[in-house]
Amino acid sequence: MPRRRWFASAAGLTFAGAFAITAFCAARSIDSHPVAVQVDPTPVNRGALEPASYAAVAKRIAPSVVKITVTSHRHEDEADGGMDPRQLQQMDPFFRQFFGQGQGQGRMPQQRHPEETGLGSGVIISSDGYVVTNNHVVDGAENVTVALDDGRELKAKVIGRDPQTDLAVVKIDAKDLPAITFASSAKAEVGDRVLAVGNPFGIGETVTSGIISVKDQRNANLGLAYEDFIQTDAAINPGNSGGALVDVDGRLIGINTAILTRSGGFQGVGLAIPSDLVRHVVDGLVQHGKVVRGYLGISIQNLTPALAENFNLPLRAGVLVTDVQPGTPAAKAGIRSGDIITEVAGNTVSNSGALSLTVSETQPGTKIDLKVLRDGKTERFTATTESMPSRRVAGGSDEDSNVASSSDDQGVLNGVAVGDLDADARQQFDIPGRVKGAVVTQVAPDSASAKAGLEAGDVILEINHHAVTSADEAVKLSANGASKKTLLKLWSHGGMIYTVIDETPSGAS
């Protein structure tokens, strides 16, 4: 058991989680040529008058949207599918069955359930039978059937799946199909009229209309590695997953994937995966059976006002590098932990999701220019992306013990107990050998640190930019805090993050 050192007690602020720039390689190699999708890059007509009817558009795109029926047998050990519970809550209720909600019900492993049927939608993207849909529609499916607008029902083969973006491609044996035309989602704008086409509730194909409410929506928290959605108020309901979101010219600008709802039905917030991202993922799945994404080897997080203040940043522009993996493209380029990346390839970086997506869409071996703010000065670096190795996420365990806050206000980080990072602590919390610092063993529930998210198993690497190598040093640094706002660099849940613990007394300025 590590030696325990106590700080003293109080109140705080929630910190943002770290984001790792990752790469994903899906299943087998299927084909060697890309899908020849039709693309019309011209912006949508934004004339002053809205047409009285979209009947002509609906008739033109209806044959390109299909109903997908899947059947599967679920084993109990697959009940949760490894999916984030938040994604289950936001997912179409019809598809939750494939991931299960039976945690804690005590059933035997490998118990086979009766055949289950699910319904979704898909979009024909090539005349020779390629259909794009959501990964959660076909994940775990043993049989997939595609129902065409002309009444035919054809067996489909899953070509590839990408859980990172919730996209999948299936293929049917048919020719001369009515493939949809793609538009560039980058040219769509908030306020543009859109139509959502799909098979909600399995009642047959429906068309609903609305506008684009938000572009680049990255705050949906669906548990996906890459979240970059078009948000719309066009009615999207269970069964619409995998269907088409089109502009008023009938061109595809997104694949409907999720609804944010409290009732399980339409409440005005629907999410679609942008067509530009769809094309990137589909090309990888069809050509290689996998999606190969660019990789830099850094962990990043969004800047908050508190972080910007502690890093002496005038603006909250860019993203904060929290960790650089040794030997990776970022390390070779000279990127360091604590750098603020403000531009990538000449484009301003607005948040961590945008940076992750930009890097992921580059091919391995691509040189990208990075503009970095370091110690108040702007520097430029060039990194050559690589394919990411297998992803590893370390887990931690909580220590169950009585934790009492000290009534004395001594320095900062009150109510936090730390220990030396010895072999026992590394084994207990699964902490890699390269991580150096002081391990958090307990956090008082009513403390500012607890409210900020600090927990047992976290490792304190720095306090106010000073490196921590032992529990005694962590306690010493905490006692010397001139301010009640403390900047911590932590190793937490397999990644590096920065957070600010604010112990300013209530009402103080």
Which residues are known to be catalytic? 136, 166, 241
Comparing CA positions, the residue from 464, 459, 506 lying closest to residue 485 is 464
Which residues, at least 6 apart from 298, have a Cβ–Cβ distance to it below 8 Å? 20, 21, 321, 322, 323, 324, 325, 328, 330, 335
Question: Beta-carbon neighbour count of residue 191 at 10 Å?
Answer: 9
Measure CA 483 to chain center.
Answer: 35
Query: Which sign, positive or negative, has the C-alpha torsion 18, 19, 21, 23?
Result: positive
113, β-bridge pairs: none
Which residues, at least 6 apart from 76, have a Cβ–Cβ distance to it below 8 Å? 100, 102, 107, 108, 109, 110, 111, 113
Which residues, at least 6 apart from 480, have a Cβ–Cβ distance to it below 8 Å? 411
323, β-bridge pairs: 299
- The span from the CA of 210 to the CA of 229, in Å, is 16
Comparing CA positions, the residue from 308, 372, 303, 313 lying closest to residue 342 is 372
Comparing CA positions, the residue from 235, 270, 238 lying closest to residue 254 is 270
Which structure tokens are listed for 405?
A: 């806050």
Which bin fits 94, alpha (ψ -120 to 50), beta or left (φ > 0)?
Answer: alpha
Backbone angles phi, psi at 200, to 5 degrees: -65, 135
Which residues, at least 6 apart from 29, have a Cβ–Cβ distance to it below 8 Å? 288, 289, 290
Sequence-ordered strand ranges (E) for 345-494: 347-348, 367-374, 377-384, 386-387, 416-420, 438-443, 459-463, 466-467, 485-492
Question: Beta-carbon neighbour count of residue 140 at 10 Å?
Answer: 16
Which residues, at least 6 apart from 357, have a Cβ–Cβ distance to it below 8 Å? 226, 228, 277
Query: Which sign, positive or negative, has the C-alpha torsion 300, 304, 305, 307?
Result: negative
Measure CA 498 to chain center.
Answer: 19
- Give how far Cα 258 sits from Cα of 136, 213, 252, 266, 397, Å: 10, 15, 17, 10, 32
- The span from the CA of 269 to the CA of 266, in Å, is 7
- The span from the CA of 415 to the CA of 12, in Å, is 12
